[in-house]
Structure 1
Amino acid sequence: MSPADPARVTAHPSSGSRSRTPNRELRALLEESEWTQAAFARALARLGAEVGIHLRYDRTSVAHWLRGSRPDPRVRYLMAEALSRRLGRRITVADLGMNGTRGGRTGAAARPRGGWGSPRTESEPEDDDASDSDAHRRQPGAGRAHSADSSETGHARDPLPHREFGTPSHPADQLTALTAPVVPPPRADAPPPAPYTLRLLAETVRPSGGGQSAEGERPGGGRVPGGRRAEGAPTPAPLPGARNTCTARGSRPVSSPGPGEVASVHEHARFFALQADRHGGGHIRTSLAAYLSGLVRTLRRGEEGVHHRGMQAGAARLSYLLARVYADEHRHGLAQRAFLTAAELAEEAADPEGVALARRALSSQAHQLGHPRASLALAEAALAAAPADTDPSARAFLYAGLAVADAACGARDRALDALGRAERQLARAPVDLTTGPESPSGEPVGTYQGAALLYQSSQVRAALGDREGAIRDLRASLHSRPAQERRTRALCQAELAELLLSRGRLEEACATWRDFLEVSAHVRSGRVVAARSRIPGLLRPYARESRVRSLLVAASPPAGGQPGG
C-alpha cells in the first residue's frame, strides 16, 4: 500500500551534523541482530506497511542514524518493534539511544505527506474526518516536527502506546483513546496510530490455571498447547494524551443502565455491523466511534449489575466492530488495540464467548499481516476460551479461523480436520436466513453462515496449493452471498480474479474484475481500494490484449475524483 506521496529520506545531513554524537546504542543493537543497514531499512518498510505507510528508507538513512541523526518519533517506535521481533525481547525507544537531547538540528526527511493517521493509496479518497496528522499539526511546535530528523530539545510526549501489562487502566479510558482519532471536533491530543506489536499478543495466549471444555480440544484429539484455558485477554496499552472528556463534562451522577439502554447498545451494534458489510467501514467510522465514545461515562461510573455487564458486552461488540473498521483502513496498530479492548470488556462482562471472538479476530489479523505462528496460537486460544455452550455457528467461526491458521503453517491434515469440524458445527446451527445483523435479535459478531465458511475454505485450499478448489469455493461463496453485501462481495471478487489469473484464465479473470469494479463503486473500504490498485500491476504483462486495455481504463481513477468515495 502506497500513499499518494511516498516518503523519502534525504541522503544528506544538515549543516549541524558535525555536532552529532554517534549512536552507540543503536549500533550495538544492530550488531546483536546481525542485520545489515539495508536489512534494517527493509524491516522498517515492512512494519510501515503493516500500518498502511510506505516508508522509503535505505542503508544511507540508517547510516545517518548511527552517526547521531534521529528520525521522526513515530519511526523510532517502528525501529523498536522491528528490533524486538528480531531479538526476541522487548526493545524500547530509550534502548535506541534516541530519547535524550543528543544531537543538533538535522536535515528534513521522511514523513509521508498523507499523515500517519491517513494511510491513503493513490486511489483512496481523502476523508473529511479529523486524521491523526491533522491532530499532530495542531500540537505546539508541530510545524517543526514534520521532518523525520526534526530537532528535539527535550523529552517529548510519547506518541505511541507501550504500557506494560498489569498496569491498571480502565477499558473506558482505552475506548476514549481509540475513538479520539476520528471523533469530531478535531482533538489536539488525538494520538497518532500505533505500530502493530507482536508483544501485545503474548499475554493473550499465555496459559494459566483453569479447565477447558471438551469442545476446546485441538483438532486431532490433542489439547490446546498448555493444556489449560488461556488467561484473560491482555490489557492493551492506553494511547497517551487522551482525556476522558465524557466524564469531565458536567457533574450529573451516572444512573445504573436499564434493559432499554442495554437493548439500544446491541441494536446499534447490529446496525453498524450491517452497514460495514454492505457499504464498507469508511461510511460508519466516525458515527461508530462517536457512539462508542458516548458510552464511556456509563461504562466507567455505572453501578455493577446484570445490566451494567450487558452494557460492557455491547461495548465489547462495538469495540470489535471499530477494530474491523480500522483494520479495513490498514490502521492495524489501532485495530489490534481495539480488538484487545473488546476482549477485556468481554472479560469484565463475564462473556467468555466475546473473549473467544476477539481472539479469533486477532488471529485473522495476524494471518493477514503475515505472522502465521502468532495467528495459530491466537486461533487455539480462541477455542480454549469458548465456553461449552457456545452457539454452533460461533464455534464454526472459531474452527474456520483455526483451519486457516493451520493451513498457513503448512499443517494440511490439521487444517482439513478443523475445516471439517467447522462444517459439522455449522450444520448443527438453526437454519434461519434472518440470523446475524439483519435480524432484530441476531448477534452482530460471531454469527456465521455458509457463504463465510466457503470463503474460509477457499483460503485454506489456496494456502495448501489447491487453487482450483479455492476458485470453486470462492465462486460458491459469491453465489450464496446476498447482493447487498457489497463490500464482502467486492473482496471475494477481487480474490477470485487474482486466483483465476494465477491459473492462466485471463478471460474469466477480466470478467470477474469487471464485476468487482461495478460493485466497488458503491463501497468505501481501504481493502477494496487496495485490491483495485493491484489490478494494473497484475495485468501489465497482458497489456496488448484488447480486453485488458479496456479493463485498465475502467480501473483507472476517474478524473477529478477517487473511487470508492
Structure 2
Amino acid sequence: MRPSDPTHAPAHAAGRARTRPPNRALRALLEETEWTQAAFAHAITRLGVEIGIHLRYDRTSVAHWLRGSRPDPRVQHLMAEALSRRLGRRVTVSELGMRSTQGARGARAGAGARRRRGADGDEEGPHAGSRNYATATLDALLPDPGGHTHPADRLTALTAPVVPPPRADAPPPAPYTLRLLEESVRHDRSRDSEQPRIRAQFDPEERRPARHERAATHEPPAAPEPSGHPAPSGLSTPSGGRMAHPGHRTPPATAPAPDPATLPATAPAAAARNTCSARGTRPSAPPGPGEVASVHEHARFFALQADRYGGGHIRTSLAAYLSGLVRPLRCGEESAAHRGMLAGGARLSYLLARVYADEQRHGLAQRAFLTAADLASEADDPEGVALARRALSSQAHQLGHPRASLALAEAACEGAPADADPSTRAFLYAGLAVAEAAGGDRTRALAALGRAERQLACAPADLTTGPASPGREPVGSYQDAALLYQSSQLHAALGDRTGAIRDLRSSLRARPSGERRSRALCQAELAELLLSCGRLEEACVSWQDFLAECAQVRSGRVLAARSRMPVLLRPYARERCVQALLARTRAPAAGRRYG
C-alpha cells in the first residue's frame, strides 16, 4: 500500500514517536530546580520577553520535551539560561539531552511551509531550512574552545542578521545571560588590578568602604527576577556615552578556557594577533591615517543619526559598514593606525549594540557591547572598556537585574584610567548612581550623583552642548540633559516620582530639539509618571508632544511606548482629552515596520 494511505499513516507516526526515548537529563535538571513544569515554561517565557520574542509555552510543552521531543534549537539556549539562573551554576545546551539532526530534516521543508508540530513531537516552523543559518549564526557567537577567537570575528555573526542579502528567518534570539556578566566583572577586575582606579584618583576623600574588594572575591549572588513593571530607564542615557581615544594598556590576565557550549567570554585569552587565519581572508594593505579618520567619521555620523531619528534608520547600513571592517581589524599589523582602527570598531560595535537594545534584542546587544569592550582592550583603550561596562550596567538595570547592574557599574568606575576626562567621569558616576538607587542605597546613590554633577561642571563647554558641537566624540558626549535624565531615573528608582518628573522636565528643556528620539522617550516616560501620580491632563499634554516627536523616529523603544498608550489610557476613555489622544493613536505609526 502507498505510504500516503491514511490507514497506515497513524501507525507510522506512532512508531516514530515510540522510538524517541524520554529525556532523562532534562527531567533530572528540572527535579534539581524544584520547579513545576508550568514554572519552567513561565521562566522560559520571561527570558523570551528579555530578548524581544513572545513565546507561548506551557506545562504541556515541557511535558512533550520530557517525553523526548525537541524545541527549536534557539529555544534550547533559553532553556539552558533559565536553568542556569535557577541553579546558580552554568547549564549548557549539551546537558539538556536534546542533540538532534533537526536542522537537516527541516532543510527539506518547502519555503512556504506552515508552522506545525512533527509526528515525533519536534517543532517545525516556516522557512525551516533557514534554521541552519540561524543556528549557525548563534553558534558563531560561541567562544573558541582554544580561547584564540579575535573579537573582530564575532562581528560577522553580530552583523549577519541585518546585512544583505535578505534572510528568510529572523535573527537568532540569543538569550540575555547573567553568568556572562558575572564572569565579565571577575575577569575585568583581575585585569585592572594594576591600573589606577577612578575613585582613588578623582575623589580620594570619598572612597567607599571595602565593598569593591569583597565583590571581587566572592561569587555574585543570583539576580532577582525582573520586576513586574517596566523600568523607567532605557538601555543607557538617551544620548549615549563617549568612547575615548586609545590610552595606556595593562596586559590582560589570562582568562580560564571557556566552555565551548557557553556564550562568549568578554575577552579572549592572549593569542597571536593578526594571524589572519579566518576562512576567506587574504592579506590587506595596512591602514593609514585616512582609513582611521574615515572610520571615526562614520561612527560620528551613525551616532548622530541614532540620537536624532532612531536606530531603525541606520541599522542595516551600520551593520554592513561594520561587517566590512572585519578583515582590517582581524589582519592588521601592530601599529598606531591599527589601534585607531580597533578603537573605531569598538565605537561602531557599541552603536550596533544600542540599535539591537532599542529593538529589544538584548541577547545580541549584550554580545555587541562585550565585543566593543574586547576591541577597545585590543586598541589599548581602557576608557573605552569602562564605557562598555557602563552600557552593560544600564542594560542590566533596564532588564531588572540590580545586582549585576551594580557590579558592572562599580567595575566600570574601577577600571577607568586616571586621566579620563571629566565628561567620562560624569558618565560613569551617573551610571553608578542609578545602579545604587536600584539596589535601594539612597545615600550612596545621591553621593555618586553629586560626584557626577561636579565632574560635568568641570568639562569643557564643547562637550556639553549637544550632538552638533565640534568636539563631540563619535559615540556621543555626555551633556547636562543626559545627566538630568539619569537623575530622573535615580529618583524613580528611589520612589520619588515628584523628583523624577522635575528632572525629566529639566532634561527636556536642556536637550537639543534635533534629538527627536531622545526627546520622544523622555516625553513618554514623563507622561507615564504623571499618569501614575493622577495628573491626567498633564500626562495627555506630554503624550501629545510625544506623538509629535516620534512621527519622524524609527525606534523599537519609541514604538513600544506608543503601543502602551491605549492600554494605560483605557480606564479614562470617557475624558475629552483622552478621546482626542486616542484618536491620534489610531493613526498608523511611522516606521511601524522597518525590517
> Do 2:197 and 2:414's aligned partners in 1 also have CA atoms closer than 8 Å?
no
* Contact 2:329/2:342 (8 A) holds in 1: yes
User: Which residue of 2 is the match for residue 42 of structure 1?
Assistant: 42
Map 1:89-100 onto structure 2 (within 5 A). Answer: 89-100=89-100
Give the direction of change, closer, same or farther, for the CA distance of 1:267–1:82 in structure 2 (3 Å limit): same
Does the 8 A contact of 1:271 with 1:437 survive in 2?
no
Instruction: Tell me the distance in 2 between the aligned counterparts of 1:250 and 1:378.
Output: 35
How far residue 304 of structure 1 moved from its aligned partner, in angstroms, is 1.0
Alignment deviations for residues 197-239 of structure 1 (CA, whole Å, 9 cap, x no partner): 112212221132623435235965335623889967989739x
Structure 1 residues 280 and 376, CA gap change in structure 2 (3 angstroms): same
Q: 1:512 aligns with which of 542, 563, 566?
A: 542
CA distance in 2, matches of 1:230, 1:418: 29
Shift of the 509–383 alpha-carbon distance from structure 1 to 2, 3 Å rule, reads same
Q: Distance in 2 between matches of 1:457 and 1:147?
A: 49
Gaps of 5+ in 2: 1-12, 125-130, 217-249, 266-274
- How far did 1:459 drift? 0.4
Matched position secondary structure for 2:306: helix
Cα shift readout 1:457-511 (whole Å, capped 9, x = no counterpart): 0000011011000000000000101111000000000000000000000000011
Deviates more, 1:174-183 or 1:141-150: 141-150
Matching residue of 1:216: 199
- Confirm or deny: 8 A CA contact 1:51 1:330 kept in the other structure: yes
Residue aligning to 1:350: 380
Q: Give, in angstroms, the shift of residue 72 of structure 1.
A: 1.2
**Cα distance change, pair 487–151 in 1 and its aligned pair in 2 (3 A):** closer
Shift of 1:69: 2.0
Letter in 1 for 2:532: S
Query: Which secondary structure does the structure 2 equivalent of 1:225 belong to?
Result: helix
Match of 1:112 in 2: none
Contact 2:45–2:55 at 8 Å: present in 1 too? yes
Match of 1:120 in 2: none
In structure 2, relative to structure 1, the CA distance for the partners of 1:191 and 1:508 (3 Å cut) is closer
Q: For 1:390, what is the secondary structure of its paired residue?
A: coil
The Cα of 1:543 is off from its aligned counterpart by 1.3
- Residue identity opposite 1:422 in structure 2: A
Q: How many residues align?
A: 511
Once the two structures are superposed, what CA deviation does each residue of 1:121-177 show, in whole Å capped at 9, x if it has no partner? xxxxxxxxxxxxxx999966585795575379xx97664444378621012211111
The 8 Å contact of residues 496 and 509 in structure 1, kept in 2 or not, is answered as yes
State the match for 2:570 in structure 1.
Answer: 540
For 1:505, the aligned partner's letter is R
Match of 1:225 in 2: 212
Counterparts of 1:344 and 1:363, CA distance in 2: 16
- Matching residue of 1:117: none
Work out which of the residue numbers 323, 327, 333 in structure 2 matches 1:293: 323
Match status 1:25 vs 2:25? yes
CA distance in 1 between counterparts of 2:591 and 2:423 reads 38
Tell me which residue corresponds to 1:173. Answer: 153
Shift of 1:443: 1.1
Residue equivalent to 2:422: 392
Distance 2:146 2:398 in 1: 28
Contact 1:525 1:564 (8 Å CA) reproduced? no
Among 173, 176, 195, the residue aligned to 1:196: 176
Q: Which moved more, 1:536-545 or 1:394-403?
A: 536-545
Change (3 A) 1:248 1:221: closer
TM-score normalised over the length of structure 2: 0.79
How much has 1:346 moved relative to structure 2? 0.4
Q: State the secondary structure of the residue aligned to 1:176.
A: helix
Which is worse superposed, 193-202 or 489-498?
A: 193-202
SS in 2 for 1:326: helix
Superposed displacement of residue 190, structure 1: 9.2
Cα deviation for residue 558 of structure 1 reads: 2.3
Residues 43-442 of structure 1: matches in 2 within 5 Å?
Answer: 43-100=43-100, 141=109, 147=116, 149-150=121-122, 159-160=138-139, 161-163=141-143, 167-186=147-166, 192-206=172-186, 207-208=189-190, 210-217=193-200, 221-222=208-209, 225-226=212-213, 237=264, 253-432=283-462, 437-442=467-472
Q: How far apart, in 2, do the equivalents of 1:541 and 1:220 lie?
A: 49
Amino acid at match of 1:293: S
> CA RMSD, aligned part only?
3.2
Q: Secondary structure at the match of 2:161?
A: coil
Q: Is the 2:517–2:550 contact (alpha carbons within 8 Å) kept by the matching residues of 1? A: yes
d(CA) in 2 for partners of 1:480 and 1:458?
A: 14
What is the CA distance between 1:517 and its match in structure 2? 0.8
Moved more, 198-207 or 476-485: 198-207
Q: Is the 8 A contact 1:302 1:308 kept in 2?
A: yes
Is 1:224–1:380's contact at 8 Å kept on the other side of the alignment? no
User: Given that residues 455 and 477 in structure 1 are in contact (C-alpha distance below 8 angstroms), is that contact kept between their aligned partners in structure 2?
Assistant: yes
One-letter amino acid of the counterpart of residue 181, structure 2:
L
| CA 190–497 in structure 1, closer or farther in 2 if over 3 Å, else same | closer
Tell me how far apart the structure 1 counterparts of residues 517 and 357 of structure 2 sit (CA, whole Å). 14
Distance 2:148 2:310 in 1: 35
Query: How many percent identity over aligned positions?
Result: 69
**Quick one: structure 1 residues 248 and 24, their matched pair in 2 at CA, closer, same or farther if it must change by over 3 Å?**
closer
Paired with 1:429 and 1:71, the residues of 2 have a C-alpha distance of 53
For the Cα contact (< 8 Å) 1:451–1:478, is it kept in 2?
Answer: yes
Q: Distance in 1 between matches of 2:560 and 2:277?
A: 36
SS at 1:370's partner residue? coil
The superposition leaves residues 263-306 of structure 1 with CA deviations (integer Å, 9 ceiling, x where unpaired) of: 11111111100000000000001111111111111111111101
In 2, the alpha carbon distance for the partners of 1:508 and 1:340 equals 40
Q: 1:237 to 1:333 in 2, by over 3 A?
A: same
AA at the equivalent of 1:269? A
Deviation, structure 1 residue 536? 1.3
SS in structure 2 of the partner of residue 55 of structure 1: coil
